[in-house]
Every structure is written in C-alpha cells, then in structure tokens.
Amino acid sequence: MAKINDNYHKLQSGYLFPEIARRTREFAERNPGATLVKLGIGDTTKPLTPTVIKSLHQEIDNLANAKTYTGYGVEQGNPDLRQALADYYKSFGVNIHADEVFVSDGAKPDSANIQSIFADNSVIAVQDPVYPVYVDSAVIGGKTREYKDGRYEGIVYMDCNEDNGFFPEIPKQKVDLIYLCSPNNPTGAVATHEQLKAFIDYAHANDAVIIFDSAYAAFISDPSLPRSIYEIEGAETCAIEISSFSKLAGFTGVRLGWTIVPHKLAIEGTHPGEVQALWNRRQSTMFNGASNIVQPGGMAVLSKPGLKESQELIDYYMANAKIIRDGLNDVGITTFGGVNAPYIWAKTPGGMDSWEFFDLLMNQAHVVGTPGVGFGRGGEGYFRLSAFSDRANVKKAMKSIKVNLHL
Ligand code: MLT
C-alpha cells in the first residue's frame, strides 16, 4: 500500500511566500482599485544585461542548427563554466579547483538536496531567523520531531538578535551540519572573518560540516568582509559553499547556481574526496545538469563586461536599499542590514508582532513586506523589506509609508 511521507504533515502553514501571496490576493479582492508595492519576496526586477542576453541568444541559435545542436550536458556542469567560477573565486583570493565546483539550477535546491548525502540522523543547526528552505527540507527528510513553541525538536536553533549583531554564537552542544547564510537572508547581517573562524574551529573540533550559503556575496562592498567561507583558513576541510547567479545577475527565473565541495573535505569515517564523490553521485543520479542555454549565460556574467554590468545592477538595488533604510528611519523605525546586503531588517514599531505589522503596512501604506516571524521564532517583532524593486516603486512605497502609515 502506498503511503505518503508523513513528515510533510509536520510542516507549518505552507511555505512563507505562498502565504504572503494568499494575503495579498485577499487584499486585492477586498480593494479592487488599490495597487500594492511589493517589497516582500527577494525577486529581481531589472532585465538581464546586454552581455548575458547576447550569449543566451547565441545559444538558442546554436540549438537551432544541427551542426551546433547539443543534447544532454555534463551533470556537474559545463567545464568552461566550472573553470570560469574557479577563476571568479580567484579574483578575490580563493583557490578552488574547477572540479570542486558543481553547477546546478540554483542555490535553493542545492541547499535542500545537500542534506541527502549526510546521515538521516544528522543534527542540523540553523540561524534563527533562518531562510526557511534549510529547516523545511530537514523536516521533509525526517530529521526533526514535533513542532513546539515555534521550533522543531531535533533542530538546534542559533539565536541571531540585536545583542549579537544577528550573527550567532557557536552551538553549545554537538551538531553535525551547520547552515550559515552570509550576507544573511533575512537579516542582512554579514559575518566577519573572526566569526566564521569560530565556526570553522567548532566544525573541526566536532567533526561537523558547515553549509555556507553565499547567494548574496556580490552585495558586499566592504572589502574587510569575506565573500566566501574559503577566505578563512581551514574552511576547505569542513565547509561546503552554495551560491547562485540569481541575485548576482538577475537569474532568479533563468535558474543557475553552484555548489563547491572541496576535495579535502572529510568527516569521520570518510577519506578526502569521498564527500565530494557522494555529491557527484547524487547529482549524476538525480540531476541532468543545468540548462545548456543558460550555462553560457553564466559564463557571460563572469566575463569582464558581464561582471561590470552585474555590478551596475547591484549598485542600483543597493541604492534602493539606502532609500528604504532612510525612509523607515525617517518615520522612526529602527533598521538593520541593507548596507552589504539587499535586505533591510526592521524592528516592528510599538512592539507589534510581525504579521500584525505586515497587515498594517499592507492595509494603510499598500506596501507588502515579509513578516520576520516567517523566518522563525527569532524573527518575531521584525519584518523584512527587499531592495529588489524598481526605483519608482521604492520611492512610492517610502512616500506612502511616510504619509499613510499611522503608528
Ligand atoms: C527571499 O525572498 O527570501 C528569496 O527570494 C528567496 C529565494 O531566493 O529563494
């Protein structure tokens, strides 16, 4: 008899963004004339840049011609793209070998799928607030028990709050897998070298593996902050890094990412190369490689003109971030992040809870944000605004907050 995976029943009230979409739909039904400015989901809005578009068009033409047509590619990714990514890391001082880079269809699936190469009973530590995918995929994979008081038993939550600058202390207990996201989604905090070093030392002492999500690394403008965990000594023996072209180059819908599993990474009972071989096996079995149209687009992003154009996109979104920070500060709302990250993490005014403020902001100012509690118990009392929007919309939102939001 077929049975469903009962772990799905443990998941809480749907994924965060569909829940936001549901509330905004209901608002639209109640207020047919009103237009909402959506600064909720972090989804890019600017078109792909000319260098990328040219490459994508070229690739379509190649598929239209029998002489240049290609079918299945290499599961691990186009070797030229893997090399281009290794070279990209080299540009900020990180030595990665091309065969340690696994190209994928994005950081989100990789950050969930990576759990499958580790033991079912692995204890997972996450930052709280946290990007929900890390937790929900652990739940689906049966790595958690009951949900109580806003947290799953079996997961170790590492508090991120104003007192610790939204970056956690190392866990007090022994854990196996540690998710770190820097620049952080949702808080916009960026880990320093020293903070990451403490986790690397912890991982070595406890035979743990760090899964480092650097999807927003390109938004770091402060040269003293690390853009990759491999900038810190010792990371190549204990850390996997997952990243993406989504926010770097507006590929949220195009889909292209990568995961780095260093050859030297080894945990108890394995030899160097074995963890990497397992990820290779997983990808070769369950993934047929990223789209052959898209991968040259990734190479175009990493070319000299491509990187320059991407930087212009990033600068545009970061100018939005400043407008959002200033706008919120002007009405007395305290903000964090938004300096080396495209997310502004704000304290809900007057001690309101996150969903209460979400509804108030939507109903009064017609602005949609993301309630902090949607990222976990540690996000209660905060909300997140995304800088991925058109300038006119951002200005409209800030003006409306100033005029229409009554606190
Ligand atoms: C977000 O809004 O947190 C992001 O869009 C999520 C994602 O990149 O999957």
- Structural domain contains residue 182: yes
CA distances from 325 to 210, 332, 345 (A): 31, 11, 9
Average pLDDT by stretches of 10, the chain with 407 residues: 95 79 94 94 96 98 98 96 98 97 98 97 97 96 94 97 98 98 98 98 98 98 98 98 98 98 94 96 96 98 98 98 98 98 97 96 97 96 98 98 95
Residue 344 tokens, joined: 């502004």
Tokens of 121: 């009973």
In this prediction, residue 395 carries a pLDDT of 98
**CA 148 – ligand 1 centroid, Å:** 25
Residues 88 and 212 in one domain: yes
286, HSE (Cβ side, Cα atoms, 13 Å)? 14
**pLDDT tens, position by position, 237-296:** 999 999 999 999 999 999 999 999 999 999 989 999 999 999 999 999 999 999 999 999
Please report, for the domain that includes residue 353, its CATH number: 3.90.1150.10
Same domain? 104 vs 202: yes
Position 3 in a domain: no
Q: Best of 38, 43, 187 to mutate for ligand 1, by most ligand atoms within 8 A of CB? A: 43
| CA 235 to chain centroid | 20
Do both 213 and 267 map to the same domain? yes
Identify whether residues 84 and 165 lie together within a single domain: yes
Question: Do residues 196 and 235 lie in contact, with contact meaning Cβ atoms separated by under 8 Å?
Answer: yes
Whether residue 282 sits in one domain with residue 313: no
Whether 221 and 157 share a structural domain: yes
CATH number at residue 296: 3.40.640.10
CA of 398 to the centre of ligand 1 (A): 22
Q: Last residue of a domain, which of 270, 303, 336?
A: 303
Give the model's pLDDT for residue 13. 66
Q: What pTM was computed for the model?
A: 0.97
User: Residue 309 in contact with residue 51, Cβ under 8 Å?
Assistant: yes
CA of 41 to the centre of ligand 1 (A): 6
In a domain, 1, yes or no: no
Pocket test for ligand 1, best of 45, 136, 185 (most atoms within 8 A of CB): 185
pLDDT on residue 132: 93
For residues 72 and 130, what is the distance between their CA atoms, to the nearest angstrom? 36
Domain that holds residue 320: 10-47+306-404
Q: Report the distance separating Cα 104 and Cα 287, nearest Å.
A: 8
Q: Could you say which of 303, 329, 361 is where a domain stops?
A: 303
Q: Are residues 278 and 152 in the same domain?
A: yes
Is 201 found in the same domain as 120? yes
In a domain, 5, yes or no: no
Domain end marker among 303, 319, 354? 303
Q: Domain total for the chain?
A: 2
Task: Kindly report the protein residue whose alpha carbon is nearest to atom 8 of ligand 1.
Answer: 42
In a domain, 4, yes or no: no
Residue type, 326: D
The residue whose CA has the least distance to atom 9 of ligand 1 is 108
Q: What are phi and psi of 156, to 5 degrees?
A: -100, 120
Q: Which atom of ligand 1 is nearest to the CA of 131?
A: 3
Output the pLDDT for position 16: 80
Same-domain status, 255 and 342: no
* 290 and 220 share one domain: yes
Ligand 1 shell residues, CB under 6 Å: 41-43, 108, 185
Q: Same structural domain for residues 275 and 390?
A: no
Q: What is the pLDDT of residue 15?
A: 67
